[in-house]
Structure 1
């Protein structure tokens, strides 16, 4: 019996240390939220897919203090603003970052829903702004430098990341507390095969429809075409894309890179000949898999 209790204690201790911190983004009132019977859906097959997010949150992965660099990256999984590829473009990257001494924070952001939200086009940005502000508010507790917090987004998550990077000063909800007083500007950003433009011919139709609706005005299209929103204050940016991406054309990254250079914003871009869309870590191709090495090297260079 004593041996069993000892073993249970050890296992419980190991489990406790392995747990990640999960925090709701809006502990009080979730903006643009309507109470309905809509339920969050989680499907675990080849990857974990989350749809109809009801309670937006962040899942925090911290590196061992001995190797911590003080840098942090918020991670926005993709999925066409219809689902979140939560492990494929979320947790897997948080673990990679931790191995390099960088905090990884996966953002479970709300997806536009006419049933449970008002002003659906504002909802993802509301959660993104709140997420980075929340991380800044916890910087001291999590051993993070509040001036070294960046973002990465994939596909539609890349659109959200580029929206945050270009619309960080936009007031999209009433301020609720001290967290909402903090800066929402990322210190750097990474965009992986991102949706950037909402205009023809290079937009991703599904992402545009889910975020802006069937027939958005030209004003709305331009507002969320983030290559048009770049300024000299846009954060330094790393882009990666595959030329043979038939879902989100490589022109999306090219448009954003061109805008960055025009405004003299530091930028690095890697275009691979093959890889298609949604390659994530790129482990299926030895050449493509080198992109994360380039990315981590770029992240470390920001500390110099």
Structure 2
């Protein structure tokens, strides 16, 4: 772990492209991971997908020092917890944020459908906690304000992100090193057409089945229905959804909005009349393509 982080700093100091930087989240031992013959697989679709994640990482895109705002965002791509839409909802978003002066890190988190895992429902949260701790630990060297590090998630990645935002203090793995003494609380969350609830009929059934299997355990369902886990300590949230989303019902975002409001958590929500699902930064749609600018305005208002 020490070597990989050191190499990350050297890449930055020698002027190489930051987007070529990939940092493993774990060193020798990966929590809940079993040795298996399963192989990670990348598919060059029009959105660039990753299946069967075996080595979780973060991939960093840093702005030039002259344009850097000190803010940072960890991005969790969607994919129903069955795959990662890594290009469309990850790398493209990171590049857009970096161009606006925001350090961006795409999280390649493990997927609970993998046969290499035990206690699969904990794995996205384990990787999310570790990812934000790594960025916080190296914040000063990366020109980032440690108090301005937040998260962004799309679809099932919105569930992973909102799980971190509501379960940041939950211990879900044995501490590995000093990194794990750092708070995993994000400064803010941006959730884009997110899966929030595991309760039927409003959940996205594909994401729920991937995460929880066929379990009907009420405690497990409640634990991962993030609208039920909001507290006054949940960080401020920016929400985007479309009424005509036929994949993840808009009620997911409405449930989370109401929970945030009822707990006094600052929240801004934008509900579009149409737009469907999976539009990422929305550059091909005239009425959706401004949501990222709205997020940046909101972010600058708070941070």
Residues 124-135 of structure 1 correspond to what in structure 2 (within 5 A)? 124-135=124-135
Contact 2:19 2:62 in 1 (8 A): no
Residues 69-88 of structure 1 correspond to what in structure 2 (within 5 A)? 69-88=69-88
Q: Larger Cα Rg: Structure 1 or Structure 2?
A: 1
Q: Does the C-alpha gap of structure 1 residues 52 and 102 become closer, same or farther in structure 2, counting only changes over 3 Å?
A: same
Residues 33-182 of structure 1 correspond to what in structure 2 (within 5 A)? 33-113=33-113, 115-182=115-182
**2:284 — aligned with what?**
284
Q: Does the C-alpha gap of structure 1 residues 19 and 294 become closer, same or farther in structure 2, counting only changes over 3 Å?
A: closer
**1:221 — aligned with what?**
221
**2:245 — aligned with what?**
245
SS in 1 for 2:298: helix
Cα separation, 2, equivalents of 1:114 and 1:106: 20
Aligned length: 290
Q: Does the C-alpha gap of structure 1 residues 18 and 211 become closer, same or farther in structure 2, counting only changes over 3 Å?
A: closer
**1:32 — aligned with what?**
32
Q: Does the C-alpha gap of structure 1 residues 181 and 273 become closer, same or farther in structure 2, counting only changes over 3 Å?
A: same
Please report the TM-score for the alignment, with normalisation by the length of structure 1: 0.93
For the pair 1:256 / 2:250, whether they are aligned, the reply is no
For the pair 1:266 / 2:266, whether they are aligned, the reply is yes
Cα separation, 2, equivalents of 1:260 and 1:19: 34
Structure 2: stretches of 5+ with no match in the other structure: 1-13
CA drift of 1:191 comes to 0.4
**2:211 — aligned with what?**
211
SS in 2 for 1:94: helix
CA drift of 1:65 comes to 0.3
Contact 2:19 2:59 in 1 (8 A): no
Q: Does the C-alpha gap of structure 1 residues 18 and 26 become closer, same or farther in structure 2, counting only changes over 3 Å?
A: closer
Cα separation, 1, equivalents of 2:17 and 2:190: 30
SS in 1 for 2:146: coil
**2:16 — aligned with what?**
16
CA drift of 1:215 comes to 2.3
Cα separation, 1, equivalents of 2:175 and 2:167: 16
CA drift of 1:19 comes to 4.6
**1:10 — aligned with what?**
none
Cα separation, 1, equivalents of 2:265 and 2:81: 28
After superposition, the CA RMSD in angstroms is: 1.2
Cα separation, 1, equivalents of 2:228 and 2:22: 35
Structure 1's consecutive aligned runs of 4 or more residues displaced over 6 angstroms after TM superposition are none
SS in 2 for 1:210: helix
Cα separation, 1, equivalents of 2:159 and 2:91: 19
Q: Does the C-alpha gap of structure 1 residues 19 and 129 become closer, same or farther in structure 2, counting only changes over 3 Å?
A: closer
CA drift of 1:103 comes to 0.3
User: Over residues 108-143 of structure 1, what are the superposed CA-to-partner deviations in whole Å (9 max), with x where a residue is unaligned?
Assistant: 000013520110000010000000000001101111
CA drift of 1:201 comes to 1.2
SS in 2 for 1:183: coil
Q: Does the C-alpha gap of structure 1 residues 63 and 15 become closer, same or farther in structure 2, counting only changes over 3 Å?
A: closer
